[in-house]
Chain A
């Protein structure tokens, strides 16, 4: 009886995951979709706690520890998720993803500890096979996500080791061989199992290490689908339908999402993973621009230029997010609108550190939806734009992507701001963007630089525009 209710609960949970994910892909229903999937998750968790029965129902134990674990996780998770700044969202997602991966790997470890291969039904030990896969994928996802987290926090620098790719291939091969050995030489508590754990953890680190910070969203999305697959293996192990649906759904949806993100950057997944940016960093830095000088613009001149133009397009980038300048940016925008200037925002698909990152930030500052234009919509209009203000963006406006075939970002669609009449660039200094390449846009005659912290510069601009 209770077992049937349990199965029905899992059915409900599975349905909510599918419906929730579907609703999450439309702006109007997204929030409700998230809530529905969350409720389904609650159903699955409580049903498991109260209704799960082992085959010999005597072994049910540890309620106290389970409830304690749930409480601790809920409290910490809630605090972390509530406190995190909007700008740090991507690394938060990466961190939580890593936790899921670790959870899947730990499950495999416990199951392995009392897995007795002599009890298996056929000569192919399916359970063992699934444990090995769950352990490996979960561990890779865990260590990889933490490295991605560290990179986005700026704590870990991009580092390409010599022969990194060759080393990674060798590691992957070693992991596969070790799995085969474990399957062939299947005995209880084979210590090689833990070697596999170590190898998988190291592989996760080495896999993410050489990939440039700008590509982290793609990596996080990929690791996200890895964790989904690891969760599905857990579901396979227990014949648990909720884990299976949730895991596989995320595994396949996550893979598609990863590919969509790559498409937005006009690059293939292999190109991202093999670290094209990292690999060609030294070589393809494009034309010699080092000796050219840039033109600066004073706050005063910038304010006048903006106030007397008809149309202004703001290009936000990661610099805006770091400086927390979205509110003051909106203030400038409103001020200019009052003066009759038409202001819109041009959002590159990969601006910031994640697709949609800028939209979330600007929405937080009450910038209306209609003013945020996607790349394809705004590009044809840029030639009629009087002033483009680039706030802390770099690679997404680099003309080298269009006209320098030797550039590592050649072929990436960009916001064609060089078509506009004037370009003002708010930047802290002359440092390069995440791709690590020079931007010739800065040296164009129509481009003026406004050096300083984005928030600070915008604040000065706002007060200056008020006085014009």
Chain B
């Protein structure tokens, strides 16, 4: 128990950060019209692709003789990139549909 408390104490900045970011996320998303739910979910999906940064860090640190780590890291980089690129492009395509608003055909 004491260990866990001291862990929390050591990471107090992070915990503040965490709480504020959670509240920010809630605040940012409230009052969204239903038509934007899908693009918003897709956009959020692209944003958590930031996990790619972690994959890159892992690869930068992997020793060149550790082939297993390299193989796993490479897969992680590819998958993370898929998440980022696919996510943003799909969202853009969805939103492109909405943009046609002013061009009402007569």
How far apart are B61's CB and chain A's nearest CB, in angstroms? 6
A30 near B83: Cβ-Cβ < 8 Å:
no
Contact with A along B72-88 (1 / 0, CB 8 A): 11111111111111111
B contact residues around A20 at 8 Å (CB): 43, 47
B contact residues around A232 at 8 Å (CB): 18
The residue of chain B having its C-beta at the shortest distance from the C-beta of A228 within the complex is B48
B63 near A246: Cβ-Cβ < 8 Å:
no
A99 near B28: Cβ-Cβ < 8 Å:
no
Asked whether A34 and B92 contact (CB < 8 A) given A242-B53, A357-B38, the answer is yes
B64 near A61: Cβ-Cβ < 8 Å:
yes
The residue in B32, B47, B48, B69 that gathers the most chain A C-beta atoms within 10 A of its C-beta is B48
A contact residues around B37 at 8 Å (CB): 257, 260-261, 354-356
The residue of chain B having its C-beta at the shortest distance from the C-beta of A349 within the complex is B34
Q: Which of B30, B31, B62, B78 contacts A62 (CB 8 A)?
A: B62
How far apart are A311's CB and chain B's nearest CB, in angstroms? 20
Q: Chain A: interface secondary structure? A: helix
B contact residues around A70 at 8 Å (CB): 77, 81
B contact residues around A196 at 8 Å (CB): none
B25 near A251: Cβ-Cβ < 8 Å:
yes
Q: CB within 8 Å of A: which of B14-65? A: 14, 17-18, 21-26, 28-64
Instruction: State the CA gap A363–B41 with chains docked (Å).
Output: 18
B contact residues around A359 at 8 Å (CB): 35, 98
Asked whether A35 and B92 contact (CB < 8 A) given A66-B59, A100-B49, A103-B76, the answer is yes
B24 near A18: Cβ-Cβ < 8 Å:
yes
Would you call A243 an interface residue if the criterion is a C-beta within 8 Å of the partner chain's C-beta atoms? yes
A contact residues around B54 at 8 Å (CB): 103-104, 107, 231, 234-235, 237-238, 240, 243
Instruction: State the CA gap A144–B100 with chains docked (Å).
Output: 35
Q: Which of A34, A126, A240, A264 contacts B43 (CB 8 A)?
A: A34
Would you call A124 an interface residue if the criterion is a C-beta within 8 Å of the partner chain's C-beta atoms? yes
**Count the A residues whose beta carbon is within 8 Å of the partner chain — how many?**
120
Q: Which of B17, B80, B89 contacts A78 (CB 8 A)?
A: B89
Instruction: State the CA gap A239–B14 with chains docked (Å).
Output: 9
Q: Which of B39, B64, B103 contacts A30 (CB 8 A)?
A: B39
Would you call A41 an interface residue if the criterion is a C-beta within 8 Å of the partner chain's C-beta atoms? yes
Q: Which 5 A-B pairs have the closest CB atoms?
A: A73-B81, A252-B25, A69-B77, A77-B85, A246-B50
Residues of B with Cβ closer than 8 Å to A?
Answer: 3-4, 6-7, 10-11, 14, 17-18, 21-26, 28-64, 68-70, 72-101, 103-105
Q: A107-B54, A124-B7, A256-B30 are in contact. List 19 more A-B contacts (CB 8 A).
A: A21-B40, A48-B56, A54-B60, A62-B60, A65-B77, A74-B81, A77-B84, A78-B86, A81-B86, A106-B72, A107-B76, A110-B73, A246-B47, A247-B51, A251-B25, A254-B44, A356-B34, A366-B103, A369-B101
Q: List 10 A-B contacts (CB under 8 A).
A: A21-B28, A21-B40, A60-B60, A66-B56, A69-B59, A73-B80, A86-B97, A244-B18, A251-B25, A363-B101
